[in-house]
Structure 1
Amino acid sequence: MDELSKKAETIEMAKAYEPSQVEGKWYPFWEKNGFFHSEVDEGKKAFSIVMPPPNVTGALHLGHALDGTIQDILTRYKRMRGYNALWLPGTDHAGIATQAKVEAQLVKEGMRRQELGRDKFLDRVWEWKKQYGGRITQQLRRLGASCDWERERFTMDEGCSKAVREAFVDLYRQGLIYRGNYIVNWCPKCHTTISDIEVEHVDREGNLYHLSYPVKDSDETLVVATTRPETMLGDTAVAVHPDDERYQHLIGKTLVLPLMEREIPIIADEYVDREFGTGAVKITPAHDPNDFEIGLRHQLPQIVVLDKEARMNEYAGKYQGMERFEARKAIVEDLKAAGVLLKIDSHAHAVGECYRCATVIEPMVSKQWFVKMEPLAKPAIEVVKDGRLKFVPERFDKIYLGWMENIRDWCISRQLWWGHRIPVWYCEDCGQEICAKEDPAICPSCGGGHLKQDPDVLDTWFSSGLWPFSTMGWPEKTPELSQFYPTTVLVTGRDIIFFWVARMIFMAMEFRKEVPFPQVMIHGLVLDAKGRKMSKSLGNGVDPIEVIEQYGADTLRFMLITGNTPGNDLRFHPERLEATRNFCNKIWNASRFVLMNLEDYEAGPRGELTLADRWILTRYAATIEKITEALEAFDLGEAGRILYEFIWNEFCDWYIELTKPRLYNKEDKLARHTAQSILLEVLEGTLRLLHPFMPFLTEEIWQNLPVQGVSIMMQSWPEVPAYHEEEAVQDMTLLMEAIKAIRNIRAEMKVSPAQKVEILILAADPNQRLVLENGKADILKLAGGARVELFAAMAEKPSQAAGAVLEGVEIYLPLKGLMDLDKEIARLEKEIALVLAEQQVLETKLNNPGFTNKAPAAVVAKERERAEGLSARKTALEERLAELQTSK
């Protein structure tokens, strides 16, 4: 028989759920049978999502686990709803990080990349990628990610490389890519530029140095304040505010730069903050981004005094060769000796660090490649403003727009060997600059063959910005682009909006003239229990693979999703793993119980439904509806909460218990069959609802059920059945509340579970009395009753009895000789206090015109009815309390 025409081979369910015995079995089964793969099928509605490509150097961390779980839930859900669902995976070449890994290997071998040469070094990187680059994708499989691995991409594969060339050349020819001297963020350790958003600003304690610059041909001095005295060697001006009356007479005059004895002008610029320091600012255009802009406005020279190792260079005079912080100390001492250093103040300020290696970055003027952002940003701003692209939650619109509306030109060149090499060549014969999609053999201008390619590579985010369409074959017109693009939704963390999301949007608007996805679902970060970012330095990191090995992937997935709302950070509490594992075990044990009672089950018509049957079927229908709504709104945490409540509280704790008398009564075969049938329907459907969240557990259980199909993941999403008996829900709620009230009394009075008690119920309403009369057997069984007696009225209420008051119902347990009267009085007083607190909240709500005038009339009426019920309950509790106090 064809493997796919039958269900996978099953085994008898073990007594306890062991994730390690399950997860290693089902993932290979799914992948081997191609369940994750999607062929182009124009006859089906498409759902597509691209994975934010993790770095090829990376290992799975909790952020990846959360991100991957969200995407997997959405993909499995849409697949079950009949969509042609594609989740396209891939990895990023991670230029800086990967090159650093391989260079570290070379250092261990006593070698530097320069000794190998570019080509051999790149061979080593590809070799490293082949050996280690698949680690994170294997770990994603451990998580249960149902990606279409047959379509896995890499930002430097042939197709993506072609797309990068196409995009670069197109932008270059439009004049949107240019090369020029500009201030950039230079990392002295990684030996490359990094973008503004890759700089992490860390607050550090530092100093503010007050220096006295002499005015030429004068006895006057101008005092400036700086946090970086080493950069004064590159000063080309001192600026003051044009309206600062203190310095009006000095504007246009010349200063003598201490230590360097170079003459520099005093200029006026509105950028200067008159309130900071002395109101006079040293201007070093080559080593400060703000000074660079001032320098351009005033046509100041740019003097670079640091080299790429962050050592002082030949323009630094006698300090040449010193490391920058070593030079700072020497310069400060020399300034003191010269009488130029007036004072040093402690000064806390933000210091920029490289996001990769935490080295203090050095702003430096350098010749780099840039993308003009203003024309690209405009359409990317408009699509959010006009609603073509929406962020979930909406508050991230403002964050995105704030950044895009103030965007600077993007420095895209990196001084690395690993990456997409800039497709520009320089003719050594005539000086022509050639930008081409294919490597040129000769110069198109002079015909010369001496061409030299630009040594730099592109910023990794350039290729990542093309990801949604480059992975589907662009620039070719492919069937995949036709069906799966634009993608349906992007799922990513809030910390990557500027790095990646914005770039995908403006690249898509430029090259595809449409949004890459209509919705962006933003999730928060996973923090430790104290709300701190996880890091090696704090020692608070959690390895998801270790969690999976201890608790199982389903436990990790469900824990990450529940108790959280879109866009908000999640605190990782280890105890929540224990609670979620208990939930898995609850599902497992309930399923085993159902299976053990299905031995003689055969499909057939049901008998008369009990109140419990009608209740669970109505609640099951409502659960499907609510979970579907929550998933469509990307509120996965709410969907998980609804599932948890339904499975644990309603199905396991109540319905299964209520079916046991019928299951154990093999004489009444029709009643037993009816209970079996409903148990199977609700369990099987609930497993399908749970499958996107807990794929392994649900597959294992489902494979043991007497149902048709090869895998639960290939089954359809449950349709909402036509069970909407609200009366059954109300009646069942009354019965459950009565049983819970009796259980609570027994627990508080410390009545032994083995001791049967007499239960007296006063219910004036005939409908309530009928419900409780019909539910006597359930009350006796689930509340430990010896006898249940119902009354429409009581001439005299029992005195030596513990009691509870529901809406319209009073319950008494005669406990003569067993009851502590003082304890029962204290319990009633506590219950009255709770009712009073609830009344106060409700009263405030009903006295608020904002609620009573705007809420639907039915909702207001229901709240008024609830208020009346609380009032009646309070009165009954107070009467009971008075009776006990009198009897005492």
Structure 2
Amino acid sequence: MEVSLEKEYNSQKVEEKWLNLWKDEMYYFDWNSKKPHYIIDTPPPYPTGSFHIGNTLNWCYIDFIARHKRMKGFEVMFPQGWDCHGLPTEVKVEEKYGISKNDVPREKFRELCVAFTEENIEKMRETMRRMGFSVDWSKEYITMYPEYYSKTQLSFVRMYNKGLIYKSYHPVIHCPRCQTTIALAEIEYKSGKTTLNYIKFDDDVVIATTRPELIPACVAIAVHPSDSRYKHLVGRKVRIPTTEYEAEVIEDEEVDPEFGTGIVMICTFGDRQDVKWWKKHDLELRVILDNNGLLNEKAGKYKGLTIKEAREKILEDLKAEGRLLKQETIDHNVGVCWRCKTPIEIIVEEQWFVKVERNKILDAARKIKWVPHHMLSRLESWVEGMEWDWVVSRQRIFATPIPAWYCKKCGKIKVAKEEWLPVDPTKDKPLEPCECGSTEFVGEDDVLDTWMDSSITSLIISGWPNLKEYPTSLRPQGHDIIRTWAFYTILRSIALVNQIPWHEIVINGMVLGEDGRKMSKSLGNIVQPDEVIEKYGADALRQWAASGVVGSDVIFAWKEVIAASRFQQKFWSILRFTMLHIKDYEFNDEDIKHLRDADRWILSKLNKLIKEVDEHMENYRFGDALKAIR
């Protein structure tokens, strides 16, 4: 057996050889295989940039699992999807071309988004192939194509017909920058400094607020029922500064007597607590913000101002009237849009909602094996704390169209029939008249939340609506999207087929910079996988990924990649040494019958190692498996 190996291990040359041998069809999943099936519900990333180091960690974990299961005799499905729709892409396109979605025709903006997305998908595919991931590319799905989004629309129609989707006039979270409604799960909280303003409403009614711009929206004033300082105020009508309105002083146990003066103004709406109070006390609705983030006619002389302009002008007027008593700088958490980081507002609009059946979701989640198990508590906390249903309509363009129309004559909603799908109501008409007989309709121009696309991935890869096998075996994902992707997938799977989506869910952490902080351009600690591959090869990067612990954040460290590269050289040298000594050896079955003690000892060590590594891999302890091999 003559094998010639170079003295130095050349990762680029060796990896290129194997990449040329591995073809895309090599990992094809066969539904008809007699082997036990192992189906992985892989994450569809947003194709808004490059395949980053966080993606690399996640996909390394998936690939470790897929390859191990194949070695164990399973028929493995390792699909690849792309979650194209939504704000991430739209924001990038607006930035790239210096436009707003309203600056160009609707169809033109969508074309720009599609072209941008297709370009990024190809770049990301290239990195994934270079990493050696054993993806079945025949099972690739792209959510912006009709083959996929027609099924998103089908899921909408079926849930609507079950009464699980409805349209309602309700307070919603709104991003003024993106000019759209967003879900609770899409809010991030940013800490910083803000100003607490002490404002005199009446001689003995002083309120401390960080949102003076919402004073025209004040519909009540509240104090704690046990706060003896303000017992005499309860029931009094107080004039609201800068307005002609009055508001009554009421009692509520959720008022914090220790914050500010212990008196709060209830506005419609400053935050979710305001919404809660508004519902509880059946208060007036006075919305002063429109969906462009401008004050409307109910704000009186402040109409047309932005939130920032209104804050400055109202404070100026309060100061002139002697009502601004003092100001303090405090630490404050502000809810911001997850995508553009603009502070969110709460407005009231008619929107589409998905019913959140909390008990069903929690029961289903507890039937799934969570790795690590404590990650289940994150989902439980999120679901148990939910007060609103999931708002799924968006005032954007690049997303799955909501398959519905409104009758011009009677106003009744007409939702598409299954056989009409896919449809775009802004261009297509219903194929039958309204119940009132009218054939004149206005198409719904709102679109669906992108999570409506990605929350059915487990169903899509299983052949839905004609399921071939379900639930899937595994969902691998990051802990940052437990309250979105994991939550929404469980919700939709229960709603559509009344089954859990997967038997197991494995949660990975985030990748931090070498300084231990979140990677960001401003910190200059971002490392791209292509950069690592070019220097040390894909296998060294894969070893770094294996060294982490499932569920925990992982620090990227060049020294670990270098150590992995040196291990490869060591392993290569051992292989080269071995090959030199067995170059004339020809194996035959008879040799097995005449093993020497040293041979038996070596084989026993090998078998022990195989057993140990197998146990680690079955329990997703990739780092322990790597240590055992090293």
Task: Choose which of 65, 70, 73 in structure 2 pairs with 1:82.
Answer: 73
Which residue identity does 2:608 align to in structure 1? A
Residues 117/212 of structure 1: CA separation in 2 closer, same or farther (3 Å cut):
same
Tell me how far apart the structure 2 counterparts of residues 113 and 283 of structure 1 sit (CA, whole Å): 34
How does 1:495-644 map onto structure 2 within 5 Å? Answer: 495-562=480-547, 564-604=548-588, 605-606=590-591, 612-644=598-630
Say whether residues 1:39 and 2:30 are aligned partners: yes
Tell me how far apart the structure 1 counterparts of residues 402 and 544 of structure 2 sit (CA, whole Å): 44
Q: Is the 8 A contact 2:84 2:144 kept in 1?
A: yes
How big is the shift at 1:204?
Answer: 0.6
Tell me how far apart the structure 2 counterparts of residues 367 and 543 of structure 1 sit (CA, whole Å): 43
Task: Choose which of 156, 160, 170 in structure 2 pairs with 1:168.
Answer: 156
- TM-score using structure 1 length: 0.67
Match of 2:9 in 1: 17
Match of 1:403 in 2: 382
How big is the shift at 1:91?
Answer: 0.4
Gaps of 5+ in 2: 424-429
Match of 2:95 in 1: 104
Per-residue displacement from partner, 1:661-697 (whole Å, max 9, x unpaired)? xxxxxxxxxxxxxxxxxxxxxxxxxxxxxxxxxxxxx
Q: Is the 8 A contact 1:372 1:410 kept in 2?
A: yes
How big is the shift at 1:162?
Answer: 2.5
- Secondary structure class of the residue paired with 1:197: helix
Which residue identity does 1:74 align to in structure 2? I
Q: Is the 8 A contact 1:47 1:83 kept in 2?
A: yes
How big is the shift at 1:467?
Answer: 0.8
- Secondary structure class of the residue paired with 1:182: strand
How big is the shift at 1:100?
Answer: 2.2
Task: Choose which of 397, 401, 412 in structure 2 pairs with 1:432.
Answer: 412
Say whether residues 1:124 and 2:112 are aligned partners: yes
Match of 1:412 in 2: 392
Tell me how far apart the structure 2 counterparts of residues 58 and 486 of structure 1 sit (CA, whole Å): 32
Task: Choose which of 295, 298, 306 in structure 1 pairs with 2:281.
Answer: 298
Per-residue displacement from partner, 1:239-258 (whole Å, max 9, x unpaired)? 12233333233222211011
Match of 1:380 in 2: 361
Task: Choose which of 60, 64, 88 in structure 2 pairs with 1:69.
Answer: 60
- Secondary structure class of the residue paired with 1:134: helix
Which residue identity does 1:14 align to in structure 2? E
Say whether residues 1:270 and 2:253 are aligned partners: yes
How big is the shift at 1:112?
Answer: 5.2
Say whether residues 1:49 and 2:40 are aligned partners: yes
How big is the shift at 1:25?
Answer: 3.2
Match of 1:139 in 2: 127
Match of 1:250 in 2: 233
Tell me how far apart the structure 2 counterparts of residues 575 and 127 of structure 1 sit (CA, whole Å): 39
How big is the shift at 1:394?
Answer: 1.0
Residues 72/410 of structure 1: CA separation in 2 closer, same or farther (3 Å cut):
same
Q: Is the 8 A contact 1:159 1:473 kept in 2?
A: no
Say whether residues 1:60 and 2:51 are aligned partners: yes
- TM-score using structure 2 length: 0.93
Tell me how far apart the structure 2 counterparts of residues 319 and 23 of structure 1 sit (CA, whole Å): 65
Could you say which structure has the higher helix fraction?
1
Q: Is the 8 A contact 2:29 2:136 kept in 1?
A: yes
How big is the shift at 1:313?
Answer: 3.0
- Secondary structure class of the residue paired with 2:159: helix
Say whether residues 1:451 and 2:441 are aligned partners: yes
Per-residue displacement from partner, 1:402-439 (whole Å, max 9, x unpaired)? 21222231111111011011122101122111112335
Residues 115/530 of structure 1: CA separation in 2 closer, same or farther (3 Å cut):
closer
Which residue identity does 1:154 align to in structure 2? I
Q: Is the 8 A contact 2:371 2:551 kept in 1?
A: yes
How big is the shift at 1:549?
Answer: 1.1
Max radius of gyration: which structure? Answer: 1
How does 1:596-745 map onto structure 2 within 5 Å? Answer: 596-604=580-588, 605-606=590-591, 612-644=598-630
Worse-matched range after superposition: 547-556 or 395-404: 395-404
Match of 2:331 in 1: 348
Which residue identity does 1:382 align to in structure 2? D
Per-residue displacement from partner, 1:803-834 (whole Å, max 9, x unpaired)? xxxxxxxxxxxxxxxxxxxxxxxxxxxxxxxx
Tell me how far apart the structure 2 counterparts of residues 551 and 521 of structure 1 sit (CA, whole Å): 28
Per-residue displacement from partner, 1:200-234 (whole Å, max 9, x unpaired)? 111111121111112xxxxx431111111111121
How big is the shift at 1:499?
Answer: 1.3
How does 1:810-849 map onto structure 2 within 5 Å? Answer: none
Tell me how far apart the structure 1 counterparts of residues 325 and 598 of structure 2 sit (CA, whole Å): 86
Q: Is the 8 A contact 2:211 2:270 kept in 1?
A: no
- Secondary structure class of the residue paired with 1:615: helix
- Secondary structure class of the residue paired with 2:277: helix
Tell me how far apart the structure 2 counterparts of residues 70 and 269 of structure 1 sit (CA, whole Å): 50
Tell me how far apart the structure 2 counterparts of residues 134 and 70 of structure 1 sit (CA, whole Å): 22
Tell me how far apart the structure 2 counterparts of residues 158 and 342 of structure 1 sit (CA, whole Å): 60
Tell me how far apart the structure 1 counterparts of residues 277 and 83 of structure 2 sit (CA, whole Å): 38
- After superposing on structure 2, the runs of 4+ consecutive aligned residues of structure 1 that deviate more than 6 Å are none
How many equivalent pairs are there?
A: 616
Q: Is the 8 A contact 1:434 1:443 kept in 2?
A: no
- Secondary structure class of the residue paired with 2:288: coil
Q: Choose between structure 1 and 2 for higher RCO, CA contacts under 8 A separated by at least 6 residues.
A: 2
How big is the shift at 1:609?
Answer: 5.3
Match of 2:352 in 1: 369
Which residue identity does 2:607 align to in structure 1? A
- Secondary structure class of the residue paired with 1:65: helix
Tell me how far apart the structure 2 counterparts of residues 471 and 301 of structure 1 sit (CA, whole Å): 48
- Secondary structure class of the residue paired with 2:468: helix
Tell me how far apart the structure 1 counterparts of residues 500 and 22 of structure 2 sit (CA, whole Å): 33
Q: Is the 8 A contact 1:414 1:459 kept in 2?
A: yes
Tell me how far apart the structure 1 counterparts of residues 489 and 94 of structure 2 sit (CA, whole Å): 30
Tell me how far apart the structure 2 counterparts of residues 112 and 516 of structure 1 sit (CA, whole Å): 38
Residues 187/38 of structure 1: CA separation in 2 closer, same or farther (3 Å cut):
same
Per-residue displacement from partner, 1:830-867 (whole Å, max 9, x unpaired)? xxxxxxxxxxxxxxxxxxxxxxxxxxxxxxxxxxxxxx
Match of 2:427 in 1: none
CA RMSD of aligned residues (A): 2.0
Per-residue displacement from partner, 1:274-331 (whole Å, max 9, x unpaired)? 2222221111123322112211222222223233343333332333333322332222
Q: Is the 8 A contact 1:422 1:457 kept in 2?
A: yes
How big is the shift at 1:553?
Answer: 0.6
Q: Is the 8 A contact 2:158 2:496 kept in 1?
A: no
Per-residue displacement from partner, 1:92-123 (whole Å, max 9, x unpaired)? 0131121223333443xxx6543532223323
How big is the shift at 1:610?
Answer: 5.5
Match of 1:463 in 2: 453
- Secondary structure class of the residue paired with 1:369: strand
Tell me how far apart the structure 2 counterparts of residues 509 and 310 of structure 1 sit (CA, whole Å): 37
Tell me how far apart the structure 1 counterparts of residues 245 and 441 of structure 2 sit (CA, whole Å): 41
Gaps of 5+ in 1: 1-9, 215-219, 645-888
Tell me how far apart the structure 1 counterparts of residues 164 and 228 of structure 2 sit (CA, whole Å): 43
